[in-house]
Structure 1
Amino acid sequence: MAVTKELADELPAEAVEAAKARAATLLLAFRHGNQLAFDQELELLFEEQVEREVTTLLVWIAAEAVRKAYAPEVGDRVLRALAHRAPGDTSAVAVDEETADVARLVEAVADGDVGTVQTLVGATADTTYLLGGLLQAVAMMLPLLPEGEAEEVAAELRRRHGGRTGRAPGIPEARQS
Structure 2
Amino acid sequence: MVVTEELADELPAAAVEEAKTRAATLLLAFRHGNQLAFDHELDLLCAEHAEREVTTLLAWIAAEAVRKAYAPAVGDKVLRAMARRAPADTGAVEVDEETMDAARLIEAVAAGGVAEVRGLVASTADTTFLLGGLLQGVAMMLPLLPDGELAEITAELRRRHPRAATPVPEARAGV
Normalising by the smaller structure, the TM-score range is 0.7 to 0.9
Q: How far apart are residue 9 of structure 1 and its match?
A: 2.9
Q: Which segment is superposed worse, 101-110 or 139-148?
A: 101-110
Give, in whole Å, the separation in 2 of the partners of 1:121 and 1:163: 26
Equivalent pairs counted in the alignment come to: 167
Match runs of 1:1-177 below 5 Å: 1-113=1-113, 116-162=116-162, 164-166=164-166
Give, in whole Å, the separation in 2 of the partners of 1:164 and 1:73: 47
Deviations 1:135-165 (A, max 9, x none): 1221221222111111221222223234752
CA-based RMSD of the aligned residues comes to 2.1
Deviations 1:35-81 (A, max 9, x none): 11001100111111101000000111111111111112221121112
Structure 1 stretches (4+) deviating beyond 6 angstroms? none
TM score, norm. by length of structure 1 = 0.83
Q: How far apart are residue 82 of structure 1 and its match?
A: 1.2
| Aligned residue in 2 for 1:174 | none
**Gaps in structure 1 of 5+ consecutive residues:** 168-177
Q: Which amino acid aligns with 1:123?
A: S
Give, in whole Å, the separation in 1 of the partners of 2:126 and 2:50: 29
**Gaps in structure 2 of 5+ consecutive residues:** 168-175
Q: Which amino acid aligns with 2:150?
A: A
Q: Which segment is superposed worse, 106-115 or 74-83?
A: 106-115
Q: Which segment is superposed worse, 45-54 or 108-117?
A: 108-117
Deviations 1:11-52 (A, max 9, x none): 222211110110010011011111110011001111111010
SS in structure 1 of the partner of residue 165 of structure 2 = coil
